[in-house]
Amino acid sequence: MTEMLETVEVETGPQPDAAVVWLHGLGADGHDFEPLVPEMRWPGAPAMRFVFPHAPVRPVTINGGMPMRAWYDIVSLGTGRDHDQQGIADSVDQVARLVRRERQRGIAAGRIVLAGFSQGGAIALQAALRFPEKLAGLIALSTYLLLDHRLAAEAHEANLGLPVFVGHGTHDPMVPYRLGEQLAGRLRDLGCAVEWRSYAMPHSVCPEEVIDLAAWLRARLS
């Protein structure tokens, strides 16, 4: 069994009744999106727990084998994104354990959102679509779909209609814009309720996207 990931946790009030598990991108850590927590609040918002896990440190081939925080190894930015199937599977299992821990803490599955940016978004997608209980939603930022050929067989029926926010930059040099478009279309094919947003930005998050994210989260968790 894989180890429980170390996490950064921020609670917006006592006794949270909703949770967001948010995965960082390649080479970052759990603190990366922590500053956005205040932007995810709204008048009358419920108490929420934001869980930002640290990915394990591992060598990454596209970066010359340099060890860094990564959810799996990436061999190339082309067809090699899903080469490390064991690493992908291990990270999906670790993220699912974090979701189950929130369930054990008393938060209903329908009050849990999985979120991720870039490589973290790719793992959030894998974990959410395979989770056996209906989740509140999924946030997929500047990311792409891994192991598409296995998705139809492995996706759990509980989350085939999952609400998904997909945001992508039109000038993204790391994850081409077309991959975001393809992801949104594939999720719609599976029956997911996709909100697709594009922004004039590179491989990043912009203020407009943060505003849209907060509105989407409010619709899911109010």
Residue with tokens 């993220």: 95
Residue 175's CB: how many other CB atoms inside 10 A? 24
Determine the residue type at 146. L
- Per annotation, catalytic residue among 84, 118, 142, 168: 118
Q: Is 203 a catalytic residue?
A: yes
* 204 sits in which H/E element: none
- What is the distance between the alpha carbons of residues 59 and 39, in angstroms, rounded to a whole number? 34
- Rounded-to-integer distance, Cα 176 and Cα 186, Å: 16
Q: Catalytic pick from 54, 83, 156, 203? A: 203
Calculate the alpha carbon distances from 122 to 79, 111, 215 in Å. Answer: 14, 21, 22
What are the residue numbers of the active site? Answer: 118, 172, 203
